[in-house]
Amino acid sequence: MTAATEVVQGPGGKARRAKPSGPVLVGFALAIVYVVWGSTYLGIRIMVEDIPPMIAAGGRFFCAAVVLGVILAARGGLARLRLSRAEVLSCALIGLLLPVLGQGSVTIAESGGAPSGLVALLIAAVPLWVLLYRVLAGERPKRTTALGVLIGFAGLAVLLVGNGVGGEFPFWTVALVVFSAASWAFGSWLQPRLRMPRDAFVAAVYEMAIGGVLLLVVGFAWGERFEPAEYSARSWAAWGYLVVFGSVVAFSAYVWLLQAANISLVATYAYVNPLVAVVLGWLVLSEAVTGPIIAGGAIVIAAVVLVVSTERPQRKQSIAKESEDG
């Protein structure tokens, strides 16, 4: 691995060039994103063994928002967290789509019995959903990209059919994960089109805080009860891991990588995370790795690799043009 630079967007929308970072630091940050984000599916599965899903997810995101907000305020003052009304509303919408409908749905699905490895493979299709929304918005992708999307959704069909009605867990859990991926992708597609804070960390604080509160409100209204003394140390440990490492450490590493490393390298997390999740689910929870999971998962990941690698040059050319225009 070599040090890399990438043109990224600076204040005011003008492009600037990030400083090159050492290969060791880049490799360490990438390893965090690979392993920690890949392990969050296992963490969720263990967390919901005792803790009600919406309370667990809501508490996780709200606490992570508080931790990250305190860190940002300590480094840049409270003024760093000040947003306009339009920016707050945009963060609220993204908080609904990502933490609530995205991660909240995953947490509910895993509490219903969906294996963490299968969930990760279904979530791996997020880049395919994003491209679908782009097409619906009027964009015309390359033929190779369109082929990758078709292949990817064929892989999803294999996963759904192979783990459908009559399986070891309710089919609604798998369908909910597909909805989660579609919601997360829509939020990812929509976010650049909204008036968001320039600081991605500040945006994350508000998105997680608002999403966490919404999940807690819905959870209590749905009848969930918070009884901390009744939850095992194992579930509490998983919850704490998700707060500190899954939401704060890994996200910070990811945002830093976007500025310090080549986007082609950073994008590999999309198809490494599911592999990590499947292996951990098999090793720790003895989750079955069936033929349909292997076949469907391989198809989805191959499609994501094809789409990401095909779309990468378009993004670089676009950013380079912005740099010249600026």
Looking at residue 104, what is its pLDDT?
Answer: 94
**158 neighbors 138 (Cβ within 8 angstroms):** no
> Tokens representing 221?
């209204």
Residue 216 lies in a domain: yes
Residue 161 lies in a domain: yes
Question: What is the pLDDT averaged over residues 234-240?
Answer: 96
**272 neighbors 297 (Cβ within 8 angstroms):** no
pLDDT band at residue 156, thresholds of 50, 70 and 90? confident
Task: Give the residue with greater pLDDT, 11 vs 140.
Answer: 140
Task: Give the residue with greater pLDDT, 214 vs 3.
Answer: 214
**184 neighbors 122 (Cβ within 8 angstroms):** no
Question: What is the pLDDT averaged over residues 237-260?
Answer: 88
> Tokens representing 103?
């991660």
The total domain count for the chain is 1
- Please give the distance of CA 125 from its chain centroid, rounded to a whole number: 11
Among 61-65, 260-264, 321-325, where is mean pLDDT lowest?
321-325
- Residue ranges making up the domain that contains 241: 19-325
- Secondary structure (H, E, C), the chain: CCCCCCEEECHHHCEEECCCCCHHHHHHHHHHHHHHHHHHHHHHHHHCCCCCHHHHHHHHHHHHHHHHHHHHHHHHCHHHHCCCHHHHHHHHHHHHHHHHHHHHHHHHHHHCCCCHHHHHHHHCCHHHHHHHHHHHCCCCCCHHHHHHHHHHHHHHHHHHHHCCCCCCCCHHHHHHHHHHHHHHHHHHHHHHHCCCCCCHHHHHHHHHHHHHHHHHHHHHHHCCCCCHHHCCHHHHHHHHHHHHHHHHHHHHHHHHHHHHCCHHHHCCHHHHHHHHHHHHHHHHHCCCCCHHHHHHHHHHHHHHHHHHHHHHHHHHHHHHHHHHHC
- 172 burial via Cβ count (<10 Å: 0-12, 13-18, 19+): middle
Residue 146 lies in a domain: yes
- Please give the distance of CA 57 from its chain centroid, rounded to a whole number: 14
Residue 13 lies in a domain: no
Task: Give the residue with greater pLDDT, 146 vs 181.
Answer: 181
Cβ neighbours around 164 below 10 Å, total:
12
Question: How many residues does this entry show for the chain?
Answer: 326
Q: What is the mean pLDDT of the chain?
A: 83
Q: Spell out the residues 6+ positions from residue 287 whose beta carbon is closer than 8 angstroms to its own.
A: 115, 116, 117, 118, 278, 281
Percentage with pLDDT > 70 across the chain: 86
Longest CA pairwise span in the chain (Å):
60
Which of 50, 29, 17, 26 minimizes the C-alpha distance to 234?
Answer: 50
Residue 2 lies in a domain: no
**231 neighbors 50 (Cβ within 8 angstroms):** yes
Q: Spell out the residues 6+ positions from residue 85 whose beta carbon is closer than 8 angstroms to its own.
A: none
Residue 148 lies in a domain: yes
Residue 12 lies in a domain: no
- Dist CA 175 CA 163 (whole Å): 10
Expressed in angstroms, the distance from the first to the final Cα of the chain is 31
- Dist CA 39 CA 51 (whole Å): 18
pLDDT for 109-131, tens place per residue?
A: 999 998 898 898 888 888 888 88
pLDDT of 180 strictly over 90: yes
> pTM of the predicted model, to two decimals?
0.81
Residue 105 pairs in a beta bridge with none
- Dist CA 114 CA 108 (whole Å): 9
